[in-house]
Structure 1
C-alpha cells in the first residue's frame, strides 16, 4: 500500500531524476569494468577490427565482436563505402550503412573529431534513452496521466542492451515514440519527419511504421473532407517510403551490390524461430551456458507475459474506431503476429530478440499508459528482478 502511494506521488522531475540516475549509474559501472575506456562498449572483435593510429587504446576482443564495431566505423565517416577503413573491416556494407542516423549523429556531436567517438557513441544512446522517458511524460500530460507511467520504459530491457553495445535500437525507439507523440498532437509533418528518422536508424522499424502510417492515413480520410489539403497530407505520409527506397537504390549502385538489402532471411514458418532458439539455448553443460540458458528463457517468459497483459488491456469493441488507442493497439497486435514468424537468426540468443523487441515493448507500454492500466504486482516483481539481473550481467561482461 505504501509502495503504491509512493509511486503515485512521483512528479515529472522525480521520474526524470530516477531515470537519469539509473541509466547514468549503469553507464558508469559498465565503463568502470572496462577500465574507464568507453571503447569497452564498442565490443570490437579481432575478426573485423585491428589497432588504428587514431584509437591506440581501442579494446579489441577475440572473435567476431558485436554490431557496435560497425557503428563505430561509420561514426568516423558516415558515407565512406569502402570495406576497410579506420581499422574496421565491414562484413556487409549495404546492410550496415543503411542504419546511418546513429553514426551520423555521433559524427556531428564529435564535430568530426575521431578520438572521442567511443564516448559519443555511448552518450548519444544515453540521451536517446532519457529522451524516451521524457516523451512518455509529454504523452502522459496530454492525457492528464500520473507521471509514474513514464517509468515504464525503464523496463524495456533491449534498451540497456543497445546502450551497453553501441547499437541503434535506442535511436529507432526514440524517433518511433516521437512519431506517436506527433500523431497524438495531429502534426502530420512532424510525424512524417520522425518516422523517417526512425527508419534511417533501423529499417526494421517499418514493421510498426508501415501499419501505423496506413492507419494514420485511413484516420485522415475518415476525419477530413476530401480536398487538396488531405491529398497533400497523404503524399506527405508516402515520402518516408519513397526516400528509403531511393536510399537503398543509392547504396546498391554505389556499392555495386547484387541486390537491394532485405530482411527476408530473418523470417521463417510460424513459431519455428522460437522453437529453434529454445533448443539451441537449452544447454546445461557448464555454468556459463546454464546462466545464458536461464536468461534466454526468462526473457521469453517475460515477453509472453507482457504481451498477454497488453492484449487484455485492449478494448476490442473499439478496435475499429481509428482512435489513437485503437490504432496503436492494431499495430501492437500486428507486431505480435509478426514476432511469431521471425526466424532462427533472431531467436538464436537473447541479445537478438530482446533488442529487436525494444520498439514493440515500448508500444505496449504506451498502450498500457493510455488505458491507465496498473501492472500486476507479481509481474512487476518479476520485471524488477529481471532488470536487476540484466544490469549486473551487462556491467560485468563484455
Structure 2
C-alpha cells in the first residue's frame, strides 16, 4: 500500500514497458534507456576505432566506392598540386639554409603537404584561420588572407578560434573559423575549453588535428589512450571524421563537407595521421605530393614538362627571396634590449651588460652578420 502510494506521489516510472518514456532515465544529456547489464564502455584499447577516410590508394589509384560530395575540378586540382610542389621546394631550400646558419629556425611540412593544402583549398577566402606553431621566427600572419599570426604557446589558438567563430555566428556571417593543432596541443587545458565552448555555443568552427604521431619528441603512445583525438568528439557532443592526411582529395572533401556542416550548426574536429630512419623511409614512400601528382597525371591534367617548369621556377623564386633577405642588414645585439622599453630599466641594463661580456668571451655565439654593438 505504501509503495503504491509513493509511486503515485513521486510518479515513479513503470518498468514493465521498456520502450515507454518512463523506462528511460531523464539524463541531462537527454533520455537514456535503462539496462540490467553492468557494461563499461571505452577504455585504453577500444574494440572499434573510427576508420580513416580516403579516396586514393598509395599508388594514386581512385577508389571507386569513395564518397566525393565535393569533386575537384582540373583547374583546382592543378592549383592544389602547384601549391604542394612549391611548398615542398620551399621547405627543402629553407631547411638547407637553416642548416647553413642563414636563418635561426625553420619547421618543414614534409609529409603533411596534402593536409595543409587540401584543407586550405576547401575554405572560403574570408574564413579565419588560426594556425599552429612552436617557435619564432616562423610566426606567419596575413590580414589579407584572414590568417591570424601564430603564437608559440600550445593550444592558445583554439579558444581564439571559438571566439572568432561565435562572433561570426552573432553577426550572421556565412564564414567559419578554423583551428589547426597537433595531438600534443590536445592535452592542454585550452584545447578542452575550446572544444567545450564550441559545442555548447554551436559556434561555426573546425578543429583540424594534424596527428603526426609525435608531440615534439613524445610519441602518441605516451600522449593519450583510447581512439586518438577524433575519438574524443562524441564526449563533447561533436561530430568527427578521421582522414588519411596523405590523400589531398580526401582532405579537401572532408574539410569542405565539415565546413558545410559547421555552418548548419555542427562542429567537426578532423583528425590526421623525432622519428627513426625506418619511419622516415616509410613516410617518404607515401609522399602525398607524388601521390596527388600521380592522380593528376592519370587524368591527363599534368605532365613531366609542367613538373620540371614548376620545380625550376619555384626554386628560383625561393633562392631569390633568400638572397634578398640575406642582403638586409641585421640588427645589432643591443636591439634585443633597446627595442623593448623607451627608458631601459636597471634589470634589463644588467642583462645587456652580461650579454656583451659573454659575447666578448665567446664571439662564436653571435650569428653570422649580426653586429656586436
Higher fraction of strand: 2
More helix by share: 1
**If the length of structure 1 is used for normalisation, what is the TM-score?**
0.28
